[in-house]
Amino acid sequence: MGSFSLIIDGQTVEVEEGATVLQAARRAGISIPTICDHKDLNPYGACRMCVVEIEGVRGYPTSCTTPAAAGMRVTTQSERLSTLRNRTLELMFSGHPNSCLVCVHREACEQHRPTATKAARSTRCGFCANREECDLRAMALSAGQPELSLPTMYAAYNLERDDPFMDRDYNLCVLCGRCWRICEKIHGKPAISIINRGKWARIGTAFNKSHVFSGCTFCGACIDICPTGTLTDRFARWQGKPEAETGSACILCPQGCAVVAQSKNQRLLAYTMPAFNRDASLCALGRFGAAQMVNSNQRTTRPQVREGEDLIPYDWDAALKAAATGLKEHAGKIAFVISATSSREERYLYAQLATALKGQMHLVPAHALPGDPTLTTIQEAIHGQGALALLMNGPLLGGVEQSRMAFSLVIDALHSDSSEQASVVLPAAMLSENSGTFRSSTGEIRQLSACSQAPGDARAEWRILRDLGQTLGLDGFSYTKVEDITRAMDNAVGEDAAPPAMTGDPRHNVRELITTYRGHQVADIVPALAAFGLPQRSMIQEESTAGSDNGFPILEKKEIVPNMHFFKIQAPQVAKFALPGQFVILMARETSERSPFTLVDWDADTGTISLVIEEVGRSSRELASLRAGDMLAHVSGPLGQAMPVEKRGTVLLGGGCYGVGAIYPLARALKQAGNRVICGIEASSSYLLYMQDELTQVSDQLILATKDGSEGVRGGVQEILVQTAEREQVDQFIAIGCTFMMRMTTELSRGLNIPTLVALNPIMVDGTGMCGACRVSIGGDTLFACIDGPLFDGHAVDWDELASRRSAYAPQEIQALSQGVDLSALMHQAHGPTDTHQCGCGR
């Protein structure tokens, strides 16, 4: 192929034949904005951001689709081009929530909330898991403060969460087509396609089938190539941008696929494909399962030694000593049962130990299931040997076998029945926590690089074996790093054998996934895998009170605007005694956590209460998944102090998020008490405003504010407060909403000398003053939001303390979300959800 040159922005560029103008520009170091273009995909020409001017060519061709030609003269920057690009960007953003980008409070807000806040629907960047990696956001911000004046057309597609590993929010999709194009490229027969056309065009599957049944192999390429937060890995979703990407290999099966391990804070987020092509694709277990296994709560974290009936935590030295003693005692009668999913170094050290202790080495293939002929052979061999001790790196043999032994040592990363029965348990590191080498079933040697920290006291297996060797006083166990073992092994053994190949091809057929890892059933560790029919020790049975006769009936339930759910619940005792400002604590199920919600309305006669619940984390999601007719397990209340209702003159109530509903009963009471009531409510964009009609009825004036200026005042309650105070005397200000809004408005009202009440929302458990989780500092005193609040003098609140206490359990809250998948719904559903939630927002 020949090369030729063309001129881009006055610069001569030499390119190979077949290059596009965009590629040529990149070659010259000239950057042209684009969303739909990707180096691993064919040109598509959909986003229209990469338009350029070419001498002699009519109009504004897209550089990504235009082949470069000899002598071509291209201009990539001009006033006309930047106008066109900005307007195209504006059009693109009108189909993608964007209020944060034009919000006057963005910088202050991001300072207070440095990471995105978890939410069900991402209605703004601040609620988007992909905030730090969003190409759209980066493009908009690089253009300075973008001019986005077109209203957002929120599509209100259902959130797609009926999938084992991925969350999909097509309300963020800009139809760049990267996902289906990469799917088609990698798999030939794509598991997704563009469905419909025009404004109804979206990415989807045939007849909205679940991805479990659409031919999806869960390689995750679509997630990795998506420029927005539309497609996310549920587990990694709220963990933020990976800090490190380390090349390594996955050793969950003998294929030993090369991976790029994404990690953050020494924690594995995901294994991803090293390149976007068919050969580099990963199976569902590698792509999604590995990170969940490594971060599983079933990890073994401390060395343990049996003392009678009990396994007692020991320190490493003592545990190693106990292990060495046990082994030494049975030298010559030890069976080593080792999984093939061990690194070469580990296997080498096990073999060294076996030789020194005159034990027998048995290698268990990765895919061996109970009853596998290999296992039977091993068992027979063990019997033949008359073994009295057993060393296993996983629950590889049945419990009967183990119980026959006088001594058993289990070196494993995960808890099991075998470790329960063991004489000594040594906690090992696994997968991304280990370094070394691995020989794949095709014979290739893959490099393993540690990129995450083993939990607790768990250690790399090679270190455990080395230390064990040293404790046993054996020669040749003086390695200081894993490479030393590799070298020693290469010198001693030469070519080691490749593990037997597995039968299926899980990378291209999700039904052929390997079901065990070192004797553990993987679906026991990653329950979502049961969706593919993987065996599980016990099916997870979600207790559900829905449909049961006990509890509090939900009379009405609808999503009034994205993320905001209106509930009307039969709770006569609460309704009878409720006062403005009070709240209730709800539990969706008997197993749910208790969560507090402000009462929006109540009717003692009918015995009903109304609430507006914002869907944020796991508990509110459980609540949001209930429907009219279902039962709530518990409703406790009314709780907290009522607001003192007195005549103050003019009262301004500011509401944001759930606070829009929460100010309603206060406004009503204050109005009845003869006050002039002004309600000011804020939302990111006009489509997120709600309860305007209700608030109009209970106030003298309703002022709207939107962050993007699409309706009412541009800004938030801050602007409403300042503008109202300029116009008239405000005698009392009450703010309910997010901590950021309450804090900002409180600072303003202090300067304006307006007495201010805020409704604090710390983490709360029992709601009766017992647990103390909700303690807040008010003017130096420690008070409990549940019994002393929720309303407090805003000017006396220690906001920093509140913020830090509120975020104390952020990692756990994030982890809880990924476990919230409703598998029972998923597994029995060949087609998409047939009875979709029908509500105001189209969910």
Partner 1 sequence: MSVEQHEVQDILTQYDQDRDNLIPLLQDVQERLHYLSPQALSAVAEHLQLSENDVFGVATFYAQFRFTPPGLHHIKVCEGTACHVRGSSRILDTITRTTGIEPGQTSEDGLFSLERVACFGSCALAPVVVVDDKVYGRMTSAKTQRLIEEKK
Partner 2 sequence: MSFAARQQEALAVWRVFDQPELRRILVGSATCGRAAGSLEVLQAFRDELAQADLEKSTALYEVGCLGMCYAEVLVEIRAQDGRRVLYQGVEPRHVAQLVEQHLVRGEIYWPLALAQMGEGTEELPAFHDLPMIKPQERIVLRNCGFIDPNNIDHYLARGGYSGTARALTMGPDAVIDEMKASGLRGRGGAGFPTGVKWGFARATPAAQKYVICNADEGDPGAFMDRSVLEGDPHAVLEGLLLAGYAIGASIGYVYCRAEYPLAIERLQTAIEQMHNLGFLGDNILGSGFNFSIKVKKGAGAFVCGEETSLMQSIEGKRGMPQSKPPFPAVSGLFGKPTNINNVETLASVSAIMEKGASWYAGFGTEKSRGTKTFALAGKINRTGLVEVPMGINLRTIIEEVGGGVSGGKAFKAVQTGGPSGGCIPARLIDLNVDYESLAEVGSIMGSGGMIVIDEESCMVDMARYFLTFTENESCGKCVPCRMGTQHLLRILTTITAGRGTLADLDSLRKIGDTMKNASLCGLGQTAANPVLTTLQYFEDEYRAHIEDHACPAGACAALIHFTIDPAKCTGCGLCARACPVEAISGEKKEPHLIDQGACICCGSCRQACKFDAVLVS
Overall size of the chain counted in residues = 843
CB of 330 to partner 1, least distance (A): 57
CB distance 216 to 329 below 8 Å: no
Contacting residue, 33, 43, 204, 665, with partner 2 by CB under 8 A? 43
CB of 124 to partner 2, least distance (A): 19
What secondary structure letter does DSSP report for 116? P
String of b and e for 592-618 (b: at least 16 CB within 10 Å)?
A: bbebbbbbbbbeeeeebbbbbbbbbbb
Strand partners, 612: 566
Q: Are strands 676-683 and 701-706 parallel, antiparallel or unpaired?
A: parallel
Q: Does 58 bind partner 1 (CB under 8 A)?
A: no
Q: Which two tokens stand for residue 650?
A: 């003019």
Q: Does 47 bind partner 2 (CB under 8 A)?
A: yes
SS3 390: strand
Q: 678 to each of 5, 165, 309, 654, 751, how far by Cα in Å?
A: 68, 46, 69, 9, 20
Looking at residues 824 to 843 of the shown chain, list those that interact with partner 1 (rule: CB under 8 A).
Answer: 831
Q: Which is nearer to partner 1, 194 or 673 (CB)?
A: 194
Question: Which among 89-97, 225-233, 334-342, 785-793 is the span making contact with partner 2, rule CB under 8 A?
Answer: 89-97
| Residue 51 interface partner, choices partner 1, partner 2, none, CB cut-off 5-8 Å depending on type | partner 2
Binding mask 192-221 for partner 1 (x = CB under 8 A): xxxxxx------xxxx------xx------
Cis peptide leading into residue 790 (ω within 30°): yes
Contacting residue, 14, 31, 138, 153, with partner 2 by CB under 8 A? 153
CB of 46 to partner 2, least distance (A): 5
Q: Are strands 3-8 and 73-75 parallel, antiparallel or unpaired?
A: parallel
Q: Which is nearer to partner 1, 487 or 511 (CB)?
A: 511
Q: Does 39 bind partner 1 (CB under 8 A)?
A: no
The CB density around residue 503, as the number of other CB atoms within 10 Å, is: 8
| Residue 59 interface partner, choices partner 1, partner 2, none, CB cut-off 5-8 Å depending on type | partner 2
Q: Does 241 bind partner 1 (CB under 8 A)?
A: no
Query: DSSP readout, 535-557?
Result: --SS-------TT-SSSEEEEEE
Burial of 426 (0-12, 13-18, 19+ CB in 10 A): buried
Contacting residue, 64, 116, 182, 191, with partner 1 by CB under 8 A? 191
Q: Does 190 bind partner 1 (CB under 8 A)?
A: yes
- Contact residues for 760 (Cβ-Cβ < 8 A; gap 6+): 742, 776, 785, 789, 790, 792, 797, 802
Q: Which is nearer to partner 1, 144 or 188 (CB)?
A: 188
Question: Which among 191-199, 357-365, 676-684, 793-801 is the span making contact with partner 2, rule CB under 8 A?
Answer: 191-199
The whole-angstrom separation of Cα 512 and Cα 533 is 10
| Residue 577 interface partner, choices partner 2, partner 1, none, CB cut-off 5-8 Å depending on type | none
Q: Does 174 bind partner 2 (CB under 8 A)?
A: yes
Q: Which is nearer to partner 2, 192 or 485 (CB)?
A: 192
Question: Which among 196-204, 508-516, 548-556, 774-782 is the span making contact with partner 2, rule CB under 8 A?
Answer: 196-204
Q: Does 752 bind partner 1 (CB under 8 A)?
A: no
Contacting residue, 189, 199, 537, 727, with partner 1 by CB under 8 A? 189
Q: What are the two backbone dihedrals, phi and then psi, of residue 131, each rounded to the nearest 5 degrees? A: -50, -45
Contacting residue, 39, 189, 199, 727, with partner 2 by CB under 8 A? 199
Contacting residue, 46, 52, 472, 703, with partner 2 by CB under 8 A? 46
CA nearest to 567, candidates 637, 655, 631: 631
What secondary structure letter does DSSP report for 430? -
Q: Does 155 bind partner 1 (CB under 8 A)?
A: no
CB of 203 to partner 1, least distance (A): 9
CA nearest to 527, candidates 822, 113, 184: 822
Q: Does 359 bind partner 2 (CB under 8 A)?
A: no
Q: Count residues contacting partner 1 (CB under 8 A)?
A: 18
Query: DSSP readout, 75-93?
Result: E---HHHHHHHHHHHHHHH
The whole-angstrom separation of Cα 334 and Cα 387 is 5
SS3 462: helix
SS3 781: strand
Question: Which among 62-70, 296-304, 333-341, 590-598 is the span making contact with partner 2, rule CB under 8 A?
Answer: 62-70
CB of 838 to partner 1, least distance (A): 15
Q: Does 18 bind partner 2 (CB under 8 A)?
A: no
Q: Does 197 bind partner 2 (CB under 8 A)?
A: yes
Q: Which residues bind partner 1 (CB under 8 A)?
A: 184, 188-197, 204-207, 214-215, 831
| Residues engaged in binding partner 2 (CB under 8 A) | 43, 45-48, 51, 59-62, 65-67, 84, 87-88, 91-92, 94-95, 149-151, 153, 174-175, 177, 194, 196-201
